[in-house]
Amino acid sequence: MNISTQSRLLFFWGVLTAITLIAWWIGTHHSDTSLHPEAAVGLSAMAITLIKVRVIIREFMDVRNAPSKLKYITDAWLVIFIICISIAYFAI
């Protein structure tokens, strides 16, 4: 069980780092230098980011093993945040 906790942390660190490096690779190969917002890039970047934040909260901050109240509160924040960002992005 102890070894599995450590490997679990390492596994999710690997996932988070891989996502970050893939974003870098896409960023450096995305040679479109036009100065217009691209909803696909903008919102997929935010969606991937909030998945990363949720992994940090659930796995690294150990909310996975916390009372469900804390799980609901942290998830509610993420949902409200992505809704507010999306409204700001699309309404203007």
Interface residues with another protein (CB under 8 A) are: 2, 5-6, 9-10, 13, 16-17, 20-21, 23-24, 27-28, 33, 35-38, 41-42, 45-46, 48-50, 52-53, 56-57, 59-63, 65-68, 70, 73-74, 77, 80-81, 84-85, 88-89, 92
* Rounded Cα distance, 55 and 29, in Å: 26
Q: What is the closest distance, in whole angstroms, from the C-beta atom of residue 64 to another protein in the complex?
A: 9
d(C-alpha 5, C-alpha 53), whole Å: 19
Nearest CA-CA partner of 85 in 41, 51, 46: 46
